Amino acid sequence: MAKFNLQVANLDFTNWQSNLATAAIIFISWSFAPFSYAVSVSGTHFNTHMGMLFLYELLLAFSLVLQLNNHFQSRLANLLIIISGFCIVFGFITAPLVMLLLLLLPIFMFLMQFSQLNLQNEAGLLTFGALLMLTIPIGNAYTSLHFISWEIVLYLLPIMTSTWCFLTPFFLPRSKKRNWLLLGTLLFLILSLFTHPINQLTIVAIILTLGWWLFTLDKRLAEPSLILTSLVQMLIIVLIYWN
């Protein structure tokens, strides 16, 4: 029994190097687009809010990795989610509206782990993607630009659609609806790319997305490699938002 308890206690630390690498990749995926927009706008400047925002992002990225690798059951993820909430409260206490917006994502990630709420499905995936777009990228944009507009929201749309597409196998690993949802989210992702200028990099991003989609369908794995999936998503985000 003692040996079993020790194994359970150390479960979250298994393959920690891979988890940290995956979290870093996810962090880049979440941050690249808003910074790409911010640096293209004159008058952009960064302030002390960025430190807490970066810590918040890193904690949530690592929490997401732990959740997906442990079937949404991770005590360490819960702890990191709670700490991320404190980071936002302390870092954005002077900007209450932004603080409340940023708190939505960790609250939802915490609730996702309760199977009774039935959020480990397509509804949870769609909500998570929408909250991700409306919190971290918007928070980054507001912190650097000090304003939010529908133009920024539209600019960040591929973050939401790519999250839907690439996380579908992890939210619905064995569902009969998985392949249909993969197709639907793939189409949404490709359509969202047309909110940006179509150039050679965008075409490469579309080809890379189609290649990942076909590979995922062909392998028929319940859950593909999270680090490779995250890396493909990061590459697509960089290709889309590279100025």
**Residue 9 included in any domain:** no
Q: Rounded distance, CA 117 to CA 41, Å? A: 41
**Residue 184 included in any domain:** yes
**Residue 8 included in any domain:** no
Structural domain count, the chain: 1
- Report if pTM > 0.85: yes
Domain residue limits at 202: 17-241
- Condensed to tens digits (0 to 9), the pLDDT of residues 181-215 reads 989 999 999 999 988 888 999 999 999 999 998 88
Residue 36 has a pLDDT of 79
User: How many angstroms separate the first and last alpha carbons of the chain?
Assistant: 56
**Residue 5 included in any domain:** no
- Cβ neighbors of 81 (< 8 A, separation 6 or more) are 59, 60, 63, 106, 109, 110
**Residue 77 included in any domain:** yes
**Residue 7 included in any domain:** no
